[in-house]
Structure 1
Amino acid sequence: MKKRMVHSLEKISLVLVLLLTVCAAPLSAQTTTTIRGTVTDLQQKTPMPFVNVFIPGTTIGTRTDENGRFSLQFTGTYDSLHVASLGYRTFKVKIRNGTTQVLDVGMETTSRMLGEVVVKGAKRERYRNKNNPAVELIRLVIENRDKNRIEHYDYVQYNQYEKLEFALSNLSEKFKNSRLVRRYQFLFENRDTTKVEGKSLLPIYLEEKSSDVYYRKDPEKRKEIIQGEKKVSFEDYIDNQGMSAYLNHIYQDFNIYDNNLMLFTNQFLSPISNAAPTFYKFFITDTITTGSGDRLVEMEFVPRNTTDLLLSGKLYITLDGNYAVERADMTGNKATNINWVRNFRALQEFRKAADGRFYTSKTTLMADFSFFARNRGGLYGERTVSVKDFVENQPKPDAFYEGDAVVKADSAEQVKERFWTNNRHDTLTTAESKVYANIDSLQKMKSFRRTMDIITLLMAGYKGFGPIEVGPVNTFYSFNPVEGFRLRLGGRTTPKFNKSIYLESYGAYGFKDKKWKYYFGGTYSFTHRSIWEFPVRALSANYQRDMKIPGQELQFIQEDNFLLSFKRGTNDKWLYNDIYNVSYLHEFLNHTSFKVGFKNWAQRPAGGLGYVKGGSVDSVREVTTSELSLELRWAPHEQFYQGKLYRIPIPNKYPIITLRGIAGVKGFFGSQYNYQSLTLNIYKMMYLSPIGYSEVVLEGGYTFGKVPFPLLTIHRANQTYAYQLQSYNLMNFLEFVSDHYASVNIDHHFNGFIFNKIPLLKKLKLREVAAGKILFGGLRDENRPENDPTLFKFPVDTSGVRSTYTLGRTPYIEGSIGIANIFKLVRVDLVKRFTYLDNPNVAEWGIRTRVRLDF
């Protein structure tokens, strides 16, 4: 269901576009002044983690680590450095610009500790949950968690502003003056040197959204009305809407009141989850009285095991009986195994509502991505979601909540700058405000368009020529035992040709079988947008004369992709096909869809495959069928990245359920058989923090009627060297057929849960994976060729040994263990086949690889 190789290449293409072709050049940090040191509590003589170290009046700053150490580098001339923490006197020191300063800072407390907490000397006692006031307080927070969630209110409404931005960080002067970017100097004039500690940021992407949000508890419904939306566009080269969806997937919403927080596609256990006292250590460090008179407890938390996918940071908890979190400041520890992410910080702030409870007022997620060595530049990203005009328990009529959960106002993308001036919760920086115009100017430059055409050709496989595109290049050359050397050339139209009509065609020639293959197709989009842009309403018709392997239906890759030419074992059983297809796809905004279709298929055996009836030696030259089909699909909250070849779903925690029904009609356009089939497929991403996540696929099917083996379910096998999620990686092509079956595939990613505890593997950031696949199936007596001479005999190999079988009481089972994240992209699995080892030409063991970009 999910072919990840193309998915990964599309993600890599996205990163390349964001880097605007500059990633290949050396990058280096710019520093003129260095200040480093250690911060301790003056009385306790113990290190103070998470203390703010900053230059006042600027955004240059950092925080101490878990051992109280800090290091700050910056350019420019400044007077003083401040070290501050709630409940302590601010420490100030004069800066010696252009030098390296080493400081030992002792912080003096200004607040009283909780009366119940006894502060002992420097001797460190063994940490225990029992009789620990910090753990007792956290348990009170957990017990009161539900009443402090927004779902506790019957009705809520508020205005929400979102801002997502990305910037290239620390571009060296050498690169800035290089010939590669000499024509783009106007971009470098927009660098921001004040936003992040000692970094020079060059904004390249910005998007904003202003919405009115309404929530109803019973029956539960959330409705969002987008009033304004604005974003940097790369529409000529990539799917701008899909890129926005993917970036927001990386920087998706999180809530500390959930048991798990999704950060950068990884799931972190919340410090106030039910299991938090088992995985975290908690320490009460201070009590604070705010300006409004509220008393807060400052609490630090750290992982018990620093190698687990857990957070560190501070919580500020109210003592008004609600035991609510007023502020959360969180980061990943240095041992956390997250790809590309140097460091990150997650902030969540809460404000008191009219009824005395707290609601989320602001959420910020910041990350520094590194694509090179640690001392080089990379990519900085930040997403902020803020709330104002919060009103509780003012109901709307029931009719208001009907319809789609997210509605965009007709004028949302055409609002004027005055709208943003009035509706931004924070003003943009000077550099942020210029990014829209700068990127627009960049895309009008011929040199940039030429560079992006080359990148699009390499990564997506297509080269544009005005209203048409030629490609994909990975299918221009391939080979197989029947065709031998195969050449192919194809292309299709783009929206520049027509926004409603899309045409596609290719021609191919096999030098061994000396046959031409070709395809002609067209699609009409009733939405007058791209045929992949959600929601789709499109009518398609096509004709194809080509070859395929029986039972192979590849979803996210071309079947004549050059890389798939390399296969293990015998691969001589093929089909020549003449296929007419007509289909209509209709998607709804609630992410349900239906697809109706008609398919007329004439298939002829090729290579070592023959259609021979059981009662004679006469072979059947051709089988013709006509099928009517209906597919229903439900994928709640699904998002996509639209590539040049496919629209690729972005996985989330919700299931994807697909039900497909097919009816073959005898006598209709020459069809030779009556039959019906039903197939149900359920895909679910299951998060099991802190031990990773599993991709689970359940599938079952039933074929009604008496049919020869080409019309049965031919189970998806894989004789390539690539690891495939929904195929059986040690099953041979056409090895098993069934008229009823059920299967379960589980692919689990441990995210370094085990390897992080092994020093060398931890340093390499390798990750462990494991998978299991079980297939139950069978064949009714009426469809067994030994029981009916009118049915085709099962295929045999060149020695006359039978090569196609049915499943008995024993299921087909295979499993694998592997190492992922090799070079941050490659996964290698050792696959073992456990059953049906006596079948001829089977492999009990195999090594498979997979390319996938993960965080």
Structure 2
Amino acid sequence: MTIGVLAIRFIYLLFLISCLTPVVFAQHRIQGVVVDEDSGNKLMGVSVRVLGSNLGTASDSTGHFVLILDQSAAEVEFSSIGYATKIAHVSEQGPNQVSLNAEGTVIDGITVQINRKYSNKNNPAVELIDSVIHYKSKNRLSGNARIQFEQYDKIKIGIVDPPKLLKRTLSLVNFPTDYMDSLSLPGKKVLGIYQEENLARVYSQRDPSRSKRRIEHQIKTEFDQRYINNPNIQSYINYVLQPVDIYDESIFMLDKLILSPIANSGKTFYKYFLIDTVKNAHGQFMELEFVPRNDKDLLFRGKLQVSLDGSYAVKRVELHLGPSANINWISAVDLELNYSPRAGGAMLLDSTHVAVSFGSENNQAMYGERMSIHRDYDLESPIDNSVFSGPPVEVIPNVSTFIPNRPVPLSVFERNTYENIERLKNNPTFRSTIALGYLIAQGYYNLNAFELGPLEYTYSRNNIEGNRIRFGGRTTPLLSEKMYMEGYLAYGTRDNDLKYFLRTAVSLDGRNIATFPAHYVEGSIQHDILEPGRQPSFLRGDSFFDSFRRNRPTKWFMTDAYRLGHVVEFGNHFSVATAFSHIKRRTIGDFRLISSGDPNRAVRDINTNDVEVILRWAPYERFYYRNLTRRTIIERHPVFTVQYNKGLKGFLDAPYDYDMIKASVSRRLFLDQFGFADVTITGGKIWGVLPYTLLHMPNVRQRELDGRHEIRYDLMNSMEFAADQYVKFGFQHALNGFIFNKIPLLRRLKLREIWGAQGFYGRMSPHNDPALSDQVLEFDLDDQGLPLTRSQNGKPYWEASAGIDNILRVLRVEYVRRLTHREFPNISQDRYRVSLSINF
């Protein structure tokens, strides 16, 4: 279940059962429609501004506009790219139909019937697309040596037609439901719940390739930070409704990459048809229509205007996704991009408009919209190198909360969204609801400066402690934004021992400790039982659900760990983490460690001193965070990690001298119509003579810095393999219904294919293999006297899975099979796995 879908559904529920305090609206409602004077087509996105005031709006996708004024008539200016500006008198009585003149005329109009017979051969539309593809590199924005411009963004989310039953509840506080936004969706009313405006200066350079977006003005709605991390909402909405570029091979939309109609492989998946030839002040253009060859594939349909001046640049494009495409929770996606020529013939992006309706075709639930306008282009001035320092997207310190000279005025509904949210935060019903939602979703109960949790770790069970009861919590920014603490106390009813953990971190740069780029020192202390190979941490694998997994650990160390660390992040998403730790481990229960050189000598204690350095680079990374815990938003960019550990012997009873190095890379590969694949590769080597419990154990779940490099083996037993040099491989491929969409009986079900494989190849050096060395420890035995751990002897471990996703839009069923090392007893050969999988 993705965070995005949960967030949208959670916010929707919160607003359905909460009340808004009303604002006073003007009483005169003036509505009308804007059309093209020549064709009669209704025009979307036309700026509508009341003269002599800052009031205004824009026409919706059907050309309609609504003004709420304190007067019954007004003089209004209508303007749109490609059309002459017009001033018209509008009144409450209407009708107010405003016709705009295109800066040119439409000539040689032709209509082509789209029939069942279609061929790319001798098709003039395909020949034109070939030319567009050929000249893409010259026409795209990034093809310029340097460029800078001003970018205005407006993003908003709203609930569509709150249920009539709710209307009576809202009326108890005199909420004016009749005055909700009626512009965004024709025939619908939208209750705004999130809005954000940014005015930024954007810089781009081709050689070396780099970019910078400095947000200088920003206004956005914010909720109670005790329960909702406002930057996470902003990150997710900007991720789902991010800017698009028709020149990209695929267009990122709703967590998916959708093949562009002018992609190199577009002719394989799209049909193209000539529609019109258009001539205006900007030149002569050919208009094409494109549709998917298979309407169930995740592809756009729409129209494209191409310049006929020899550049074959795109002038305008409309992109649409409907409910027939294999995409969940979405009834419609509409995109419009407009380009205009500049000096030198370059066709640069003027504006983009993205509108998404969440829900079914007949039962829309939420509406999201993003408008971006580019202006003030400069392709000549040099860009100082200092501009590109820091993160690629940066909000300047003390950012202005005033947007000067908006390209499109806010409607009265949009202006009131900010005030409504501020009032909402003080509503008792809303506060109670959001606190309950936070407890369910995050597992923490908030007490302002401190919160208790996580809920799922309160009770668990294992073979040493029996019933384990744990109470823990963490601080919140209300206590301090520059310091963070978390900890727990745990007690086992069988071993009657009290365990504990405490971690604290303090900012070193005077900023919020959780914000990017971070710089802090941290320290922790832990007394608890840990499985061999697991590193100390707050979440040590003792959740309620871990108590029931098939390959849960049964061997334990009583561990006392002390750690001091330092983390510094840089604006280019490169970070350095260093730490020193001292860990004492003592065997407990039936865990036995016998010397390989003396079968009569048992070893109970394994102590280490360890210096650690982790280098991490995650270019263009975006993430969700809560305190110091981060979760990367998986996009196309890779994440690299290199880790080095040095064992220091000779003090604090630590006899082990070793060197360890590990490198990892993970990346999501977007494969156009073949879905996407997540690939992770990790390799490492250990130098030194060590007991096998200090070697690498592939099935011990570690807390990675971002979770991107974790590879889980479902059918590998705990402690089954150990190695001092190894390679791990993980591959998961989601085809997004590419095969099932071609099967008539299955295509209606919108099922999706998934498959994957995980591999591990490790070797144990002779000096660390208890069968060959008398300086280490024998492998412990199970109840039948067989070794729990083994070396691979040159044979890699593989397991693979295949399954069906999107069953009833919420379930995933997979079959997992162990492919190698199947000859051993007490292992699982295969299993079925059923899980929740809710995504777009």
Q: Does 1:753 align with 2:743?
A: no
Matched residue type, 1:803: L
Q: Does 1:589 align with 2:579?
A: no
Contact 1:572 1:607 survives alignment (8 Å):
no
State which of 506, 515, 522 in structure 2 corresponds to 1:540: 522
State which of 818, 829, 835 in structure 1 corresponds to 2:820: 835
Q: Does 1:549 align with 2:531?
A: yes
Q: Does 1:653 align with 2:636?
A: yes
Contact 2:667 2:679 survives alignment (8 Å):
yes
Q: Whole-Å Cα distance in 2 between the matches of residues 462 and 130 of structure 1?
A: 62
Normalised by the length of structure 2, the TM-score is 0.86
Q: Does 1:166 align with 2:135?
A: no
Q: Whole-Å Cα distance in 1 between the matches of residues 133 and 282 of structure 2?
A: 24
Q: 1:592 to 1:185 in 2, by over 3 A?
A: farther
Superimposed CA distance per residue, residues 430-477 of structure 1 (whole angstroms, 9 cap, x where no aligned partner): 111111111111112233222211111111111111311111111111
1:570 Cα deviation (Å)?
A: 7.2
Q: 1:404 to 1:168 in 2, by over 3 A?
A: closer
Contact 2:259 2:672 survives alignment (8 Å):
yes
Q: 1:236 to 1:17 in 2, by over 3 A?
A: farther
Q: Percent identity?
A: 32
Q: Whole-Å Cα distance in 2 between the matches of residues 314 and 553 of structure 1?
A: 56
Q: 1:507 to 1:397 in 2, by over 3 A?
A: closer
3-state DSSP of counterpart to 1:244: helix
Match in the other structure for 1:638: 621
State which of 286, 295, 298 in structure 1 corresponds to 2:287: 298
3-state DSSP of counterpart to 1:809: coil
3-state DSSP of counterpart to 2:771: coil
3-state DSSP of counterpart to 2:478: coil
Q: Whole-Å Cα distance in 2 between the matches of residues 554 and 651 of structure 1?
A: 26
Q: Does 1:710 align with 2:693?
A: yes
3-state DSSP of counterpart to 1:604: strand
Contact 1:327 1:350 survives alignment (8 Å):
yes
Q: 1:805 to 1:51 in 2, by over 3 A?
A: farther
Matched residue type, 2:586: R
Q: Whole-Å Cα distance in 2 between the matches of residues 62 and 677 of structure 1?
A: 60
Q: Does 1:507 align with 2:489?
A: yes
1:764 Cα deviation (Å)?
A: 3.2
Q: Does 1:575 align with 2:557?
A: yes
Q: 1:293 to 1:675 in 2, by over 3 A?
A: closer
Q: Does 1:271 align with 2:261?
A: yes
3-state DSSP of counterpart to 1:660: strand
Q: Does 1:378 align with 2:360?
A: no
Q: Whole-Å Cα distance in 1 between the matches of residues 552 and 164 of structure 2?
A: 57
Q: 1:504 to 1:333 in 2, by over 3 A?
A: closer
3-state DSSP of counterpart to 1:737: coil
1:130 Cα deviation (Å)?
A: 1.2
Q: 1:557 to 1:285 in 2, by over 3 A?
A: farther
Comparing 270-279 with 53-62, greater Cα deviation is found at 53-62
Comparing 311-320 with 517-526, greater Cα deviation is found at 517-526
3-state DSSP of counterpart to 1:764: coil
Q: Whole-Å Cα distance in 2 between the matches of residues 51 and 276 of structure 1?
A: 28
Q: Whole-Å Cα distance in 2 between the matches of residues 236 and 369 of structure 1?
A: 27
Match in the other structure for 1:685: 668
1:823 Cα deviation (Å)?
A: 4.4
Match in the other structure for 2:233: 243
Q: 1:138 to 1:620 in 2, by over 3 A?
A: same
Superimposed CA distance per residue, residues 9-67 of structure 1 (whole angstroms, 9 cap, x where no aligned partner): x5455224532514579xxxxxxxxxxxxxxxxxxxxxx9x986999999887689xxx
Superimposed CA distance per residue, residues 335-393 of structure 1 (whole angstroms, 9 cap, x where no aligned partner): 211121111011111011122221011111110011xx653341100111110112222
Q: Does 1:391 align with 2:373?
A: no
Q: Whole-Å Cα distance in 2 between the matches of residues 557 and 306 of structure 1?
A: 46
3-state DSSP of counterpart to 1:439: helix
Match in the other structure for 1:217: 206
Comparing 143-152 with 16-25, greater Cα deviation is found at 16-25
Contact 1:170 1:376 survives alignment (8 Å):
no
State which of 115, 121, 128 in structure 2 corresponds to 1:137: 128
Q: Whole-Å Cα distance in 1 between the matches of residues 745 and 535 of structure 2?
A: 41
Q: Does 1:432 align with 2:423?
A: no
Match in the other structure for 2:243: 253
**Unpaired runs of at least 5, structure 1:** 26-47, 65-71, 77-85, 87-109
Q: Whole-Å Cα distance in 2 between the matches of residues 803 and 336 of structure 1?
A: 50
Following superposition of structure 1 onto structure 2, how do residues 300-699 of structure 1 map, counting pairs within 5 Å? 300-370=289-359, 374-401=361-388, 404-412=391-399, 414-415=400-401, 417=402, 420=403, 422-552=404-534, 559-568=541-550, 571-614=553-596, 615-643=598-626, 646-699=629-682
Q: Whole-Å Cα distance in 1 between the matches of residues 166 and 137 of structure 2?
A: 53
1:408 Cα deviation (Å)?
A: 3.2
Q: Does 1:195 align with 2:184?
A: yes
Q: Whole-Å Cα distance in 1 between the matches of residues 504 and 455 of structure 2?
A: 21
Q: 1:381 to 1:556 in 2, by over 3 A?
A: farther
Q: Whole-Å Cα distance in 2 between the matches of residues 312 and 829 of structure 1?
A: 33
Matched residue type, 1:458: I
Q: Whole-Å Cα distance in 2 between the matches of residues 745 and 806 of structure 1?
A: 20
Match in the other structure for 1:796: 781
Q: 1:251 to 1:439 in 2, by over 3 A?
A: same
Q: 1:366 to 1:736 in 2, by over 3 A?
A: same
1:724 Cα deviation (Å)?
A: 11
Q: Whole-Å Cα distance in 2 between the matches of residues 219 and 200 of structure 1?
A: 48
Q: Whole-Å Cα distance in 1 between the matches of residues 670 and 469 of structure 2?
A: 44
Q: Give the paired residue count.
A: 768
3-state DSSP of counterpart to 1:177: helix
3-state DSSP of counterpart to 2:234: helix
Q: Whole-Å Cα distance in 2 between the matches of residues 255 and 649 of structure 1?
A: 23
**Unpaired runs of at least 5, structure 2:** 19-38, 49-56, 69-81, 83-104, 703-707
Comparing 401-410 with 159-168, greater Cα deviation is found at 401-410
Contact 1:608 1:798 survives alignment (8 Å):
no
Contact 2:811 2:835 survives alignment (8 Å):
yes
Q: Whole-Å Cα distance in 2 between the matches of residues 351 and 777 of structure 1?
A: 58
Contact 1:546 1:576 survives alignment (8 Å):
yes
Q: Whole-Å Cα distance in 1 between the matches of residues 187 and 114 of structure 2?
A: 37
Q: Whole-Å Cα distance in 1 between the matches of residues 125 and 493 of structure 2?
A: 76
1:762 Cα deviation (Å)?
A: 3.1
Q: Does 1:146 align with 2:120?
A: no
Contact 1:768 1:818 survives alignment (8 Å):
yes
Q: 1:725 to 1:706 in 2, by over 3 A?
A: closer
Contact 1:544 1:579 survives alignment (8 Å):
yes
Q: Whole-Å Cα distance in 2 between the matches of residues 835 and 511 of structure 1?
A: 40
Superimposed CA distance per residue, residues 696-728 of structure 1 (whole angstroms, 9 cap, x where no aligned partner): 001000000000001100112589xxx996111
3-state DSSP of counterpart to 2:652: helix
Q: Whole-Å Cα distance in 1 between the matches of residues 430 and 757 of structure 2?
A: 47
Contact 2:699 2:712 survives alignment (8 Å):
yes
Match in the other structure for 1:36: none
Normalised by the length of structure 1, the TM-score is 0.85
Q: CA RMSD in A?
A: 3.0
State which of 220, 227, 230 in structure 1 corresponds to 2:219: 230
3-state DSSP of counterpart to 1:680: strand
